[in-house]
Structure 1
Amino acid sequence: MPQINTSFNELTTSDQDMLTEIAVLYYQEGSTQDEISKKFAVSRVKVGRLLRKAREEGIVEINVRYHPVYSAQLERRLMDKFKLKRALIALDHSDEEEQRKQVATLVSGFLANNLTENSTVAVGKGRNVAAVADHAGIVIKRNARFVCALGGTHRSGDSTNADHICRRLAKKFGGTSETLYAPAYVDNPKIRETFFEHSVVADTLNQAKIAEFALVGIGDMNESSHMVQLGWFTPKEFTEARLEQGVVGDIGGFDFFKLNGENANSTLSSRVIGLGTEDLKRIPNVIAIATEDRKVLAMLGALRTGSIDVLATSASCAMALLSMED
């Protein structure tokens, strides 16, 4: 029999096979520990230790899958607690990219069921929003219009630009895309105001403001966030905004808020060319997406702004939100 205090890689092939066989018998074939102990002529206690060893070494992975009824109850609790129209809850997945895809699947389905001919969708930036455009689901083509709610960049994050996402959404759902011909972030408020005064920029933003839907991500103030990686803000600026101004996150990349949902009036916001939280409040169906566990605090602040109508996230994030709010 394998020694339980030995690393799996250090065991002989025959001992590895035996450990795997015990795990298969118990977890897949439903054999009891008593049956296994008799089969291998070892004590029941030893079987329990070997099964624990199988879990520790990764031979066995235990995943809790929520019953559909439980997921529906979780969605209802979120809707009641935060006055949402809908909550889209995906099963938890240990891989961040896979988790993002699962949430994107739900959002893609929601849009497929709710977009109508000539619908207008204001689109933000980010990996979670981009995943909706890239999800290869079957949808009914609509003559929809996807309008950038934020400027863009020519740096390495092009695939997560609002403009690139709009183009892919238009191709997927049918219809057209509208580019916001401005950078997402500028160096100071004066430059920002100059862009806002430009008729082309103003016209695009006005189209976004009267959209029936908005598709946006929720960002946190982590120094390694996507916005910092792209060079739009420095780690120091994020740290100071968090510690000195109480900023916990942003919606869509274009407005920053505190934990209580109040606008942070941060120097960060004064450099963004895009919609604001007040603009989102006037859009009937704002779909906010966040899949990362580290963003729960930012999600809570975002929900408290009162600008979100549909939240798309994971089951663990949903439970954490309910716990924190309670």
Structure 2
Amino acid sequence: MPQNSTRRSTKQISGEDIVVETAWLYYHDGLNQSEIANRLLVSRATVVNYLQEARERGYIHTKLAPEAFNTHRAALELRDRFGLKAAYILPDGTGGQDDHASRIIRGAADWLPSLLEPGDRLGVAWGKTIYDVAERLEQTTIADLTVLQLVGSMATPYGFSADVCSSNVARKFSAKCINLHVPAILSTAEIAATLRAESLISKQLDAISDCNKTLFAVGSCKPDSHVASSGVATQQELEDYIANGAVGVLCGRFIDAKGDPVSGPLDDRMMGIELEELRHRDMGILVSVGEERVPAAVAAIRGGYATHVVTNQSCAAAMMELA
């Protein structure tokens, strides 16, 4: 048989097909770019362009195994120091804060499906971090999974509300979704109590208290934190909580350095899961982005809300120093 009989001309493979063929030869058959160019009778530069086009079209999904991130020294040290079940530590890389955040978000989205099982009831918190994780999730199906919104909805400066976070996670996993159809914060404790007594709302609150796994981030108590910018707390209310020892915000509720609830003016007006109901679940998955949130993240771990942590090396090192 002539040596060039295995070559395939681009006249035989054109358009979208040649992009898929190039991706197949590179990722499945293990050919290098020069070998593919020789096979398809194109230049090596053309092969590079085809591979880039395949990535841009979403034909290629590449992941590193979780073991690359949860079995190295930093992950094991963080796990052992705080008594976690697992830690998933991303390298910082050479980019700035936005790149650090993007890596952590991508890592959480890659890891989350492997942490869920058929029949799980996953409680999902609110905030930009969780919204971004939901956006990065790949479409997959986990049988009999239920996703539950842990906190009522509110206006945010980011253009989404809490129900969007839970709905997007449910959509990506082809799961049932139970949203909490109330505002996160009400004007008076009396109105909040009345709503909690409503049959529909009462059933939704009972449902979220029965989740066995949670996905959440923690916010800081700084003036520009999400709890303030979303309108959940006024600056004066935020200062009152800080004066009482608050270092972080979890599902709209304030915690001190030990992870214990901090009492304040919002407690009776908040619609969502209680902090005690978040503790000691089968799994609490904390996605921690940014060194300014390290004290809040450590508090959440100490309080028994987190069993699994996703962060990067610099935040993990800061957590170790604080510990």
The count of residues paired between Structure 1 and Structure 2 equals 256
Per-residue deviation, residues 60-90 of structure 1 (Å, max 9, x unmatched): xxxxxxxx58972111111111111111212
Provide closer, same or farther for how the CA distance between residues 127 and 263 of structure 1 changes in structure 2, counting only shifts above 3 A. same
Matching residue of 1:212:
212
Matching residue of 1:181:
181
Q: What is the Cα deviation at residue 206 of structure 1?
A: 1.7
Matched residue SS, 1:278: helix
Q: What is the Cα deviation at residue 223 of structure 1?
A: 0.3
Matched residue SS, 2:254: strand
CA distance in 2, matches of 1:188, 1:157: 26
Provide closer, same or farther for how the CA distance between residues 283 and 200 of structure 1 changes in structure 2, counting only shifts above 3 A. farther
CA distance in 2, matches of 1:110, 1:209: 24
Matched residue SS, 2:217: strand
Provide closer, same or farther for how the CA distance between residues 71 and 98 of structure 1 changes in structure 2, counting only shifts above 3 A. farther
8 A contact 2:120–2:145 mirrored in 1: yes
CA distance in 2, matches of 1:103, 1:275: 26
Provide closer, same or farther for how the CA distance between residues 139 and 201 of structure 1 changes in structure 2, counting only shifts above 3 A. same
Matching residue of 1:47:
none
Matching residue of 1:311:
309
Matching residue of 1:296:
294
Matching residue of 1:15:
none
8 A contact 1:115–1:142 mirrored in 2: no
Per-residue deviation, residues 84-132 of structure 1 (Å, max 9, x unmatched): 1111212225443433332222222222113222321111100111111
Q: Which amino acid letter does the alignment assign opposite residue 244 of structure 2? A: Q
CA distance in 2, matches of 1:196, 1:97: 39
Q: Which amino acid letter does the alignment assign opposite residue 110 of structure 1? A: W
8 A contact 1:256–1:269 mirrored in 2: no
* Identity, % of aligned positions: 22
Provide closer, same or farther for how the CA distance between residues 175 and 280 of structure 1 changes in structure 2, counting only shifts above 3 A. same
Matching residue of 2:244:
245
Matching residue of 2:269:
271
8 A contact 1:158–1:164 mirrored in 2: no
Matched residue SS, 2:247: strand
Matched residue SS, 2:103: helix
CA distance in 2, matches of 1:231, 1:69: 36
Using the size of structure 1 for normalisation, the TM-score is 0.72
CA distance in 1, matches of 2:79, 2:321: 14
Q: Where do 5+ consecutive residues of structure 1 fail to align?
A: 1-67
Provide closer, same or farther for how the CA distance between residues 301 and 229 of structure 1 changes in structure 2, counting only shifts above 3 A. same
